[in-house]
Structures are given as structure tokens and as C-alpha cells.
Structure 1
């Protein structure tokens, strides 16, 4: 489990594609890797992954084919900057929102503009996530915990404060680029329950 509060940006060093898996090696600081062990979780651009190797300056994770193609990992290049967050400890503060590290979809940036000290990012609103993204609701974009500021029929927007813009890779996004999205966990359960209730009610009415 994660909070969506990014600890630092890492750099992709190697992407090794094999027949049935992908291994990704990422550079990180000695600070974040100090007590990071093989088998521990790390969210890379919001995706929960498990370490299979590490040194004081980098770590390697395995990525399943489904995860590789479901996320922006299929588009990653050497030297790309990625957002990193260690798993939440039970004695830690929950200052973002509950993020599972399981990506729902990828969306495309369609507009980027400044509004006073804020950076407004507007993305496509995927049809499959209709009802899961609401104004003032929580969302994780590339692993960053954000609040949805506006929702339209085909788009939604978030607003970044200078700290989030400078400390994550969202500030350098260009129009047309894709990001990983995880919608709010509670919202998904409510949507699933409502769908189940509709099916049951429909059955009784027939």
C-alpha cells in the first residue's frame, strides 16, 4: 500500500525484455535504498513492483507482460525520469490517500496550462472509468496523489502546486504523453456495488 506522496525521482538505466517477462533497472538515491531489500515493494510511476536485485545506487524489478502493456512501461526509454515511493509502513503518516499500486488505465495529456502558481493538467476521461473520477475526488497519476479539480464528459483536470510540479515527473509532461492512472479505491467499490445492485434489482423486476 502507498500514499501517493513521491519520495524522489529515479532514472531508468536498463529495460531488458525477455520472452515472458521484462526486467527494469532503475537508479535511485542511497537514502531511499538504505533499508530496501530484495522482495520489498517500490511504486515506480504508481506501479507496485518487487525488487529482485539491488545495490546502493540502483535496483531491478520484474514486470509481468500484462503490467508492461497495461501501463506506460511499454513506452519507457533509458534515462527517463520516474516517480518513486516506498511502501507505506504501519507507523507512517497517511498524508496523501490510499493507493494500491494497481494501475487501472493510461490516459493522454490533452492540455497543460499555468494558472497563477498552479499547473493545470487536463487528460482524456476513459470510458471504462466513468463514475470513478469525480470533482474533488482523489486520483493517482504516475503515482502522485492528486485532487480532481474538474470533470467534463470527455476529460478531467488536476492542479499541481509548485512542489508537486518540481518534485515529480508531471511537471515535464508534454501534450500527447500518456500517464498511469489509479482511480480512488473506495469509488471503485461503490461503483461495483451499484452495478451489482442494478443487476439484482433488474432480475427481481423481471
Structure 2
């Protein structure tokens, strides 16, 4: 379980592809990896992955075909920055929102504009998650816990404060770039209970 509060940005150091399955090595600070062990979870751009190897400032994960197909990992290249969050400890304060690290869909950034101190990001609204993205609801974009500020039939928007813009990779997104989306877990249960 994760909170969507990014701990730091890492960088992709190596990608080894075998058909649709890849092994990915990512850099992180010694502090973040100090007690991180093989078998522990790390959310990379919102995707929960398990460590298969670890050094002082790098860790390696396997990405299976299902994950590869459902996420933006197939578009990542060596040197790309990614959002990192370790799994939540039972003893820590819970902030953000419940994030499982299971990506529902990917979508594209269609507009980026500054509004005073806020950075407004607008994304295409994927039909497959209709009813799961609502105004003032929670959403995780590349693992970042955000509040949906506006929705239409074709798009939804979020607003980044300067801290979120600077401490995550979202401020660097370019129009047309793809992101991982995890809709609100509670909203999904409500939607599927109505069926």
C-alpha cells in the first residue's frame, strides 16, 4: 500500500529487455535505500514493483508482460527521471490517499498552463475509467496523489502546488506525453457495487 506522496525522484540507469518482459535498474538515494531489502516493494511512477537486487544507490526490479502493457514503462529510456515511493509502514502517518500501485490505464497530457502559483495539467479522459474520476476525488498520476479539480466528457484536470511541481516529475511533463493513472480505490468499489 502507498500514499501517493513521492519520496524522491530517481533515474533509470539500465533497461534489459527480453521480449515484453524487462528488468529495470533505477538510482535512488542511500537514505531511501538504507533499509530497503530484496523482496521489498517500491512504486516507480505509481507502479508497485518488487526488488530483485539492491546496491547502495540502485535497485533492480522485474516488470512482467501485463505490467509492461498497462503502463508507460514501454516508453521509458535510460536517463529518464521517475517518481519513487516506498511501501507505507504500518506505523507512519497516513497522508495522500490509498494507492495500491496497480495502474488502471495510461493517458496523455493535453494541456499545461500556469495559473498564478498553480500548474494546471489537463489529461484526456479514458473511457475505460468512466465514473471513477470525479471532481474533488482522488487520483494518482505517475504515483502522485492529487485531487481532480475539473472533469468533462473528454478530459480531467489537476492543479499542482509549487512543491508537487518541483518534487515530482509532473512539472516536467510535455503536451502529448503519456502518464500512468490509478483511479481512487474507494470510487472503484462504489462503481462496481452499482453494477
Q: TM-score, normalised by structure 1?
A: 0.94
Query: C-alpha displacement at 1:16, in angstroms?
Result: 0.5
1:5 aligned residue: 5
CA distance in 1, matches of 2:183, 2:20: 28
- With over 3 angstroms needed to count, the CA separation of the structure-2 counterparts of 1:123 and 1:20, relative to structure 1, is closer
Query: C-alpha displacement at 1:20, in angstroms?
Result: 5.7
Instruction: Find the residue that maps to 1:111 and give its secondary structure.
Output: strand
CA distance in 1, matches of 2:16, 2:134: 38
2:15 aligned residue: 15
Structure 2, unaligned runs of 5 or more: none
1:182 aligned residue: 182
Instruction: Find the residue that maps to 2:192 and give its secondary structure.
Output: helix
CA distance in 1, matches of 2:109, 2:19: 31
Query: C-alpha displacement at 1:18, in angstroms?
Result: 1.1
Which stretches of structure 1, 4 residues or more, deviate above 4 A after TM superposition?
Answer: none
Q: Within 5 Å, give how 1:133-152 maps onto structure 2.
A: 133-152=133-152
- Give 1 or 2 for the bigger CA radius of gyration: 1
Q: Within 5 Å, give how 1:45-60 maps onto structure 2.
A: 45-60=45-60
Instruction: Find the residue that maps to 1:120 and give its secondary structure.
Output: strand
Q: Within 5 Å, give how 1:77-156 maps onto structure 2.
A: 77-156=77-156
Instruction: Find the residue that maps to 1:106 and give its secondary structure.
Output: strand
Query: C-alpha displacement at 1:19, in angstroms?
Result: 3.6
Q: Deviations over 1:82-113 (max 9, x none)?
A: 00000000001111000000000001000000
CA distance in 1, matches of 2:140, 2:19: 31
1:160 aligned residue: 160
CA distance in 2, matches of 1:191, 1:87: 26
1:200 aligned residue: none
1:26 aligned residue: 26
Instruction: Find the residue that maps to 2:171 and give its secondary structure.
Output: coil
Instruction: Find the residue that maps to 1:56 and give its secondary structure.
Output: coil
Instruction: Find the residue that maps to 1:95 and give its secondary structure.
Output: coil
Query: C-alpha displacement at 1:8, in angstroms?
Result: 0.2
CA distance in 2, matches of 1:4, 1:20: 27
Instruction: Find the residue that maps to 1:190 and give its secondary structure.
Output: helix
Q: Deviations over 1:101-154 (max 9, x none)?
A: 000000100000000000000000000111000000000000000000000110
Instruction: Find the residue that maps to 2:31 and give its secondary structure.
Output: helix
